[in-house]
Structure 1
Amino acid sequence: MTVPTRPLRPARRGPRFDLRTTAWFFVLLALLLSLGGVIARTAAQAAQRRPVWAVILLLLASAAVIAGHRGRRRWSARRALRRATEALEAAAETAAHSLQEPAVAAAPVEAVAPPVAPAPAPAWEPATPAATTPAAGVAPAEETLLLDAAVVPQVMDYAVLDPDEFERAIAELCVRDGCTDVEVVGGAGDLGADVLAVAPSGHRLVVQCKRYGEGNRVGSQDLQRFGGTCFTVHEADIAVLVTTADFTAPALEYAEQCGIVCMDAEALTAWHLGTGPSPWETSYEA
């Protein structure tokens, strides 16, 4: 007698374990938990600031949830968790497959030799005009005129410079006209001195630079602050305040009483072009 045997059901095989997919799953899960924590903390802070509005919004949300689920099957937390887990697993598997795809090889880039930087110019050395070669057939007198025109300084707009560049430009003018020991000391804690130098006459020169825009004028308060430190703190023999703008009448009156040289934009341009005196040549001690 043959005993009937019950057919065996095929064993269900779970999904194949993938370390990369599992790692991405936990990464995405951590990100979602972090996002949920941020949202919860933000909601708590908002509730502390405006508790009345928080209670009203909570009541409205509760009413909306009750109305939305009325007449439908009961919500299952287990089913929602299972769906969220499946979505996370699918996202992790997609991210793992995208990383396994071969990267597109980039086209070879032809190596370019880096440009050679020019040698830095010595500090405070005024620019020397390049020698010009006259064209063929130019008379000697005309050649002299061309050479003279080449060494004439060009008009410079100091107002377009930033404060640091303006201080360096004033220092270069001092070097050009024979000053020694020229030093730019402007900055935080300079106590009103931007440029220090020794004039050709041997006097100690202290310069404050005021790069003001159009419409601004140096007032008496600026002169008073400079006058309180230039002689007592910096021991200036010649104190100069040079600006790209103009001075008010009270400022000029105070400067004349204290012996401070004021150079406005017009006087600065004349000093630059060589058509006007340098500040130490117009000082009250000169």
Structure 2
Amino acid sequence: MAARRSRRSRKRTRTRVRGWGVVATVVAAVWVAGGRPTVWPVLVAVLGAAAVGGAGWGLWRAHRLAVARDRRWREDEEAKARELSMTEVDALSWQDFERYVADLCRRDGCTRVVVSGRSGDLGADVVGHLADGRRLVVQCKKYAPHRSVSSQDMQKFVGTARPEHGADVALFVTTCRTFTKAALGLAVRQDIVALHRDLLGAWVKGAHLESLIPLNGRGGSAPQRRSPT
């Protein structure tokens, strides 16, 4: 609250300084004019142009602020919608979560989708093929939202996704909000698509799997929902 008041105070100060600067300019111009009639038309034109420019700048700034507020509102609403969609996912068992992820893959055109549904699957909870034929291997981690995917979790998946299962696309999906810094770094280096809670929420809400794959662990915000066909 104190910081916000301080920002408002600084903004008022800047506005006053600009206002006094305009006044000083006008006074200086009048003094230079010295009452000479030939100078007054030029002075009036300059002051008119300054007034129009100032009004235009004010309108532009107001527009920018309105656009920024609208963008923040839309981002907040999208985040709320994603989180609401995740309440049903949170209620799933880990087995049902794996089947649900498989259904999302099928929804987005994947074929020959199989759910392991057992322990000892070496990280291949769901396997299938993308529409273009690439082999997809998915690791599903049903974690509480406050947890993080550790580097050890990611290392295990890296060690099996391609060497053991021949993945062309390796997808690590979790219901928690974050991957540790080490886990994310490993995902980027090893070309693992790391989907945290927000990106999973976007997938649930309709973002296509093909739009998520290029993020490769780097996505901090969710992609837009695909348009209905």
The TM-score normalised by the length of structure 2 is: 0.54
Shift of 1:205: 0.1
Whole-angstrom CA distance in 2 between matches of 1:192 and 1:280? 23
Q: 1:166 aligns with which of 97, 114, 117?
A: 97
Q: 2:166 aligns with which of 224, 230, 235?
A: 235
Shift of 1:200: 1.1
Query: Which consecutive unaligned segments of at least 5 residues does structure 2 have?
Result: 1-81, 217-229
Whole-angstrom CA distance in 1 between matches of 2:184 and 2:212? 18
Deviation digits for residues 155-183 of structure 1, max 9, x if unmatched?
24222211001000000001111100000
Deviation digits for residues 55-106 of structure 1, max 9, x if unmatched?
xxxxxxxxxxxxxxxxxxxxxxxxxxxxxxxxxxxxxxxxxxxxxxxxxxxx
- Cα gap change, 1:232 to 1:280, in 2 (>3 Å): farther
Whole-angstrom CA distance in 2 between matches of 1:216 and 1:279? 27
Whole-angstrom CA distance in 2 between matches of 1:230 and 1:279? 19
Q: 2:123 aligns with which of 186, 189, 192?
A: 192
More helix by share: 2
Q: 2:151 aligns with which of 214, 220, 233?
A: 220
Match of 2:186 in 1: 254
Query: Which consecutive unaligned segments of at least 5 residues does structure 1 have?
Result: 1-152
Match of 1:178 in 2: 109
Match of 2:198 in 1: 266
Report which of the two structures shows the higher radius of gyration computed on alpha carbons: 1
Report the AA paired with residue 251 of structure 1: A
Whole-angstrom CA distance in 1 between matches of 2:117 and 2:172? 13
Whole-angstrom CA distance in 2 between matches of 1:284 and 1:267? 10
Secondary structure of 1:197's match? strand
Matched ranges for 1:107-118 at <5 A = none
Structure ranking higher on relative contact order (CA contacts 8 Å, 6+ apart): 2
Cα-Cα RMSD: 2.1
Matched ranges for 1:39-118 at <5 A = none
Shift of 1:218: 0.2
- Cα gap change, 1:162 to 1:181, in 2 (>3 Å): same
Give the share of equivalent positions with the same residue, in percent: 44
Contact 2:116/2:124, CA 8 A, preserved across alignment: yes
The TM-score normalised by the length of structure 1 is: 0.44
Whole-angstrom CA distance in 1 between matches of 2:143 and 2:200? 13
Contact 2:145/2:197, CA 8 A, preserved across alignment: no
